[in-house]
Amino acid sequence: MNIVVKPYREMKEVYFIELENGNTSLATQSITPGLNVYGENPVKIEDKEYRLWDPYKSKLAAAILKGLSEMPIKLDYKVLYLGAASGTTVSHVSDIIGISGNIYAVEFSHRSMRDLISNVTSRFNVLPILADARFPDDYRFLVENVDVVYCDIAQPEQARILADNADIFLKSGGSILLAIKARSIDSTKKPEEIFKVQVDILKRRQLTVKSIIPLKPYDKDHIMVFANKK
């Protein structure tokens, strides 16, 4: 069986790979061939290299496989990424937007920032920013208007923090992706109650919710919210 690579649904920069052993995987075409970030496997076809995208390590990959209606992150886009961690998902977003796009990767943890810098050194479309996403004014001078705000942070006020950043940085008509972690907000309440409160905050902040995707089985008690700025 030959390796088959094709775009995943209508997502031009996201690929679906059928491997020779019969397994399948999401993937992105690497902009840094020969270099990986988190031990992901490369698949080389002629002069192109594809990085397999693990949905158990990336909530964005999980959301895509669970039915994200469209991919708001596209070639040449500018993305504000809140909660960049060590750069697993950031690296795949970097592939998607290509060398003409930009990612402003905000991370609060010094340890994670060290790993992030190491992992994206060769990715010239990523600007690591050591900062607290709760205080967007602190990095306002570093970030231009963006097409997408992506947020994956372990904070009790996840929706408010995203909305504060969207107010400042997101273009009119731009999109947000918010990974809501119920247990980071309140471990005593039902996840469904927590999700509703967070989604209602987004709606009150002039964000039009397009889809809500449960991430189980890849992430328990998590959802991904896709919305647009009015």
Tokens in use for 67?
A: 């039915």
Q: What are the residues facing 50 on neighbouring strands?
A: 29, 43
What are the structural domain ranges in the chain? 4-54, 60-229
Cross-strand bridge partners of residue 126: 103
Contact present, 185 and 154 (Cβ < 8 Å): no
How far apart (Å, rounded) are the C-alpha atoms in residues 107 and 198? Answer: 21
Judge residue 211's burial from the number of C-beta atoms within 10 Å of its C-beta, 0-12 exposed, 13-18 middle, 19 or more buried: middle
Residue pointed to by tokens 């920032």: 113
Fold entry, domain 4-54:
Phosphorylase Kinase; domain 1 (3.30.200)
Task: Report the C-alpha dihedral over residues 42, 44, 47, 51, rounded to 10 degrees.
Answer: -30
pLDDT tens by residue, the chain, 230 residues: 588 888 898 898 999 999 888 889 999 999 999 888 998 888 998 889 999 999 999 999 999 999 998 999 999 999 999 999 999 999 999 999 999 999 999 999 999 999 999 999 999 999 999 999 999 999 999 999 999 999 999 888 999 999 999 999 999 999 999 999 988 888 888 989 999 999 999 999 999 999 999 999 999 999 999 999 98
Would you state the pLDDT for residue 2?
A: 82
DSSP for residue 219: S
| C-alpha to C-alpha distances, 174 to 64, 213, 227, nearest whole angstrom | 19, 19, 9
Beta-carbon contacts of 181 under 8 Å, excluding residues fewer than 6 positions away, are 154, 158, 221, 222
Half-sphere exposure of 89 (CA within 13 A, CB side): 26
Q: What is the pLDDT of residue 1?
A: 52
Architecture of domain 60-229: 3-Layer(aba) Sandwich (3.40)
Q: What is the pLDDT of residue 186?
A: 84
User: According to the model, what pLDDT value does residue 134 have?
Assistant: 96
